[in-house]
Structures are given as structure tokens and as C-alpha cells.
Amino acid sequence: QSGRVVICDLPTSSGEEVAKTIGNNCIFAPTDVTKETDVAAALEKTKAKFGALHHVINCAGIGIAVRTYNFGKKVPHPLDAFQKTLMVNVAGTFNVIRLAVPYMNENEGGEDENRGV
């Protein structure tokens, strides 16, 4: 009820509309997790609106339903499609983590000195 949320998704997503339905405690930050500038801007927008970053639910991911080898066309799975999947699912999620940690480190530690990092 008192939580504040930043929805980070591609600019073409319905994130803006979803944020509006949630209310004043939710904003949308158009973000491609593979782009450092997008992630940095989303984190800055979060801090500007809500004052701090306490948690990250890092769940960006894509999947491409293509066989490893197409026996009908006699062609292998396109390498660029696989590389894009790795960029989003692995590098993109790491990009969010590495850029979010400094913001979370600014928080006061709890009894166990944990800052969510």
C-alpha cells in the first residue's frame, strides 16, 4: 500500500499506461537494459521522484522460439538472435545490478548493516 514503484521497460511498451493506473506512487522510466545511459537515467529518475532506491526486481528477459537447426531450410539458428538474447538476459540484468548498487549503498544500513545490496 505504501510502496513506490518504477516500471522500467522499453519505450514501446505499455509501461506508461500501467504506471498511470497504479497512481502517484508509480512512474514509468523508458529503459533498454542493454544501454547504460537508459539504465542510468532510470535510476536518476527514481532518486529524483522517490529520494532513494531500496530494492530492485531485476527481471528483464526475452526468448526467441527458433530451433537450433532448421532441417527444412537447412540453416542454423541465427547467431545474432542468440546474441541479442544473451545481451538482454545476461548483460542487461548485470547492467542494472552494477549501476543500482551505488544508489542502494547510499541508504542507511539496518540492524545488520544491510542496505539491500
Domains of the chain: 5-105 (3.40.50.720)
75 has a pLDDT exceeding 70? yes
**25: Cβ–Cβ under 8 A, 6 or more apart, which residues?**
2, 3, 4, 5
| pLDDT score at 112 | 74
How far apart are the two ends of the chain, measured CA to CA in Å? Answer: 24
Tell me what the mean pLDDT of segment 38-62 comes to: 96
86 and 99 Cβ atoms separated by less than 8 Å: no
Q: How far apart are CA 37 and CA 35, in angstroms?
A: 5
49 has a pLDDT exceeding 90? yes
29 has a pLDDT exceeding 80? yes
| pLDDT score at 37 | 98
pTM over 0.95: no
| pLDDT score at 2 | 78
